[in-house]
Amino acid sequence: MVLDETDVKILRTLVSDARLSSRQVSKRSGVSIGTVLSRMKKMENERVIRGYTAVVDHERLGYQLTALTEITVSKGRLLEVENEIARMPNVCGVYDVTGLTDAFVLAKFKSREELSAFAKRLLALPYVERTNTHVVLATIKEDFRLV
């Protein structure tokens, strides 16, 4: 789907506050309510908008550790392994990448014990050859709301 200026105005308004009503989106974006409703529906149907959510401060919820784990997978089973990892609790992102490793996993934990159990679980998965886990020392920016 190609987005025009009107779509982008609507998306920026929604990204800033997903709780806004269609009428409020209309007012803030300067687009008629009918256009807002039809464009939002189209973007939902095209999966540009996949859902509406709150932006949560994970640290305030007790997730003090963020880890980035590199994974190397054998025997051409990368997608199978990535899909299994994506279903695990604590996993925020799974990325298929280029370079020396096959995938990166972004995950958050409340304790070192949780992180340790997770790392061991990854290594126990069939076809996972090795992992390399990096613990984030400080989060300078973490915001996936791009528009």
| Residue ranges per structural domain of the chain | 5-45, 58-135
Cα–Cα nearest to 71, from 18, 122, 1 = 122
CA angle 100, 105, 111 (to 5 degrees): 130
Structure confidence by residue, pLDDT tens digits, 83-126: 999 999 999 999 999 999 999 999 999 999 999 999 999 999 99
Q: How far is CA 66 from CA 74, 125, 147, in A?
A: 26, 21, 25
Structure confidence by residue, pLDDT tens digits, 17-30: 999 999 999 999 99
pTM of the model: 0.84
CA atoms within 13 A on the CB side of 139: 14
Classify domain 5-45 at the CATH topology level.
Arc Repressor Mutant, subunit A (1.10.10)
Neighbours of 36 (CB within 10 A): 25
The pLDDT of residue 1 is above 90: no
Classify domain 58-135 at the CATH topology level.
Alpha-Beta Plaits (3.30.70)
